[in-house]
Amino acid sequence: IVDVKGGPDEGLDRVGLMIVVAGWVRTLRAQSSVTFIEVNDGSCLSNMQCVMTSDAEGYDQVKSGLITTGASIWIQGNVVPSQGSKQKVELKVNKIVLVGKSDPSYPIQKKRVSREFLRTKAHLRPRTNTFGAVARVRNALAYATHKFFQENGFIWISSPIITASDCEGAGEQFCVTTLIPSSREAVESPVDAIPKTKDGLIDWSQVYTFGPTFRAENSNTSRHLAEFWMIEPELAFADLKDDMACATAYLQYVTVAERDFVQLSYTDAIELLIKAKKKFEFLFSLEIFDNFSGCMVQRGFSLLVKWGCDLQSEHERYLTEEAFGGCPVIVSDYPKEIKAFYMRQNDDGRTVAAMDMLVPRIGELIGGSQREERLEYLEGRLDELKLNRDTYWWYLDLRHYGSVPHAGFGLGFERLVQFATGVENIRDAIPFPRTPGSAEF
Ligand code: 4AD
Ligand code: MG
């Protein structure tokens, strides 16, 4: 179908050819002397219009109602110019074979169905145009991800999924023993342990993982999954600036965006948010607000904005959508209390070299940091947080034996798919979403 429908002349050069289409019936419209069947073969989002009259072999199956929406069929016919306005060519059917019958209860009929409804039919929803398109974008983003890192000298590392470590120190892991909530430790070790080769062919000092990740967060939101895919690069001899540059280059590459991203410190971001809060409160008191501020006031934007608090998703969205006009924003140097133990302490003693990249509609897309490579600081931080040094013996070992400054980040792949496609709910950015209480298919 791609061949016949997708070209610049939309298949006119195929007129006269006899072809076979194997696919699924999208719609079937029977008129007195002619039947129209829209067939999709999975190769693209276009359907092939197949036109059939009673002289076609197998017509009796159509007539008796055996062939319905959702059925799989095999059709042979001639490509002819179409009378209709929607397509240049159509198939004049010589023969139709029913491959797999579809029960009349088939849930994906031509009428519009809601995304919520389709989530209950995750096994069938790839047959819709929306999910077919999202799957293709997801595939293209995965391909571009590997391409970006491979072309920039990174090595792809397979990291384990079962672990005994709560590597984020956040207590959000599943206990099986434990399913990995981040592969950061796995990528930090080759980066720390293996020196750069000289021939330039294999560069062990830059690695990345791209695989499934698990979080037992009980957040029922449009941007959290219990099982999601994360891309985690790690760079040796690199600081936070290098990390932000890598994240920016990556996102520009996969989304083909050229715009520079905004960068500001957490402290400056909080100042901006406090100003915005005052503005919203003022507008609210006058009962005039545009959609954005009205919606933010309702969602409690004004509640928690002071130095030391974590940014809520509405704060993140305000920064990227309103304050900087829809541009990705990188916020850096967060208070150490709200970030993980392994992030490198800044000289001010109260912030760490962490960065989050925020994008419109999603909020946080990337979280990363320069890692604490100094043994005494790392041990001090573990003690402060009452985390057991013995549990992290091997992580500390990496600081014993030739540690270097290094940095990395994690990007939630489904949030990237959301960002690229515009789907509102993260459950629609992965074929089989896993959220609290859903693992049916
Ligand atoms: O900010 P996070 O928690 O950072 C880390 O895990 C670091 N260890 C990464 C690193 O430095 N190697 O998670 C990184 C990203 C987030 O910015 C978000 O995009 C995504 O992972 N993410 C989720 N995506 C979907 N569902 C969830 N429950 C997610 N939790 C995090
Ligand atoms: Mg984060």
**Index of the ligand 1 atom closest to the CA of residue 217:** 28
- Predicted local confidence at residue 170, as pLDDT: 60
Q: Using an 8 Å Cβ cutoff, are 206 and 191 in contact? A: yes
Among 439, 440, 432, 420, smallest CA distance to 134 is for 420
Q: Residue 200's pLDDT band (boundaries 50, 70, 90)? A: very low
Predicted complex ipTM exceeds 0.90: yes
Nearest CA to ligand 1 atom 19: 412
CATH architecture of 129-261+328-428: 2-Layer Sandwich (3.30)
Nearest CA to ligand 1 atom 6: 182
> What DSSP element (H or E) covers 383?
helix 375-384
Give the Å distance between the CA of 149 and the centre of ligand 2: 22
Q: 231 Cβ partners below 8 Å, 6+ apart?
A: 145, 208, 209, 210, 410, 411, 413
CATH topology match: 2-100 vs 129-261+328-428: no
Q: Residue 203's pLDDT band (boundaries 50, 70, 90)? A: very low
- Ligand 1 neighbour 38 (Cβ under 6 A): no
Domain map (residue ranges) of the chain: 2-100, 129-261+328-428
Mean pLDDT of 383-388: 95
Nearest CA to ligand 1 atom 28: 224
Q: Using an 8 Å Cβ cutoff, are 229 and 342 in contact? A: no
If one compares 300 and 118, the residue with the highest pLDDT of the two is 118
**Structure-block tokens of residue 272:** 């901006």
pLDDT at residue 191 is higher than 70: no
- Ligand 1 neighbour 408 (Cβ under 6 A): yes
**Index of the ligand 1 atom closest to the CA of residue 408:** 11
Q: Which residues of 358-385 are buried (b: 16+ CB within 10 A; e: fewer)?
A: bbbbbbbbbbbbbbbbeeeebeebbeee
Residue type for 401, please? Answer: Y
Give the Å distance between the CA of 371 and the centre of ligand 2: 15
**Structure-block tokens of residue 327:** 């541009």
- Ligand 1 neighbour 409 (Cβ under 6 A): yes
- Ligand 1 neighbour 371 (Cβ under 6 A): no
Mean pLDDT of 251-267: 94
CA pair distance 239, 94, nearest whole angstrom:
67
Poorest-confidence range of 23-32, 40-49, 66-75, 275-284?
275-284
Q: Positive or negative CA dihedral for 279, 280, 283, 284? A: negative
Q: Does domain 2-100 have CATH number 2.40.50.140?
A: yes
**Structure-block tokens of residue 386:** 């009452």
- Ligand 1 neighbour 344 (Cβ under 6 A): no
Residue type for 86, please? Answer: K
pLDDT per residue as tens digits for the range 181-190: 787 877 787 6
pLDDT per residue as tens digits for the range 238-257: 999 999 999 999 999 999 98
- Predicted local confidence at residue 407, as pLDDT: 96
Phi then psi dihedrals of residue 99, to 5 deg: -90, -50
Q: Which ligand is nearest to the CA of 430?
A: 1
Per 3-state DSSP, the chain is made up of helix, strand and coil in percentages (nearest 5) of 35, 25, 40
pLDDT per residue as tens digits for the range 118-163: 999 999 999 999 999 999 999 999 999 999 999 999 999 998 888 7
CA pair distance 83, 29, nearest whole angstrom:
16
> What DSSP element (H or E) covers 325?
none
Q: Using an 8 Å Cβ cutoff, are 36 and 29 in contact? A: yes
**Which residue among 231, 415, 428, 434 is best mutated to probe the pocket of ligand 1, counting the most ligand atoms within 8 A of its Cβ?**
415
pLDDT per residue as tens digits for the range 388-423: 999 999 999 999 999 999 999 999 999 999 999 999
Mean pLDDT of 378-382: 96
Q: Residue 67's pLDDT band (boundaries 50, 70, 90)? A: very high
Q: Using an 8 Å Cβ cutoff, are 30 and 12 in contact? A: no
Q: Which ligand is nearest to the CA of 223?
A: 1
Give the Å distance between the CA of 368 and the centre of ligand 2: 7
Q: Which ligand is nearest to the CA of 427?
A: 1
Give the Å distance between the CA of 124 and the centre of ligand 1: 29
Ion ligand 2 — residues with CB under 5 Å?
367
Reading phi first (left if > 0) and then psi (alpha if -120 to 50, else beta), residue 181 is in alpha
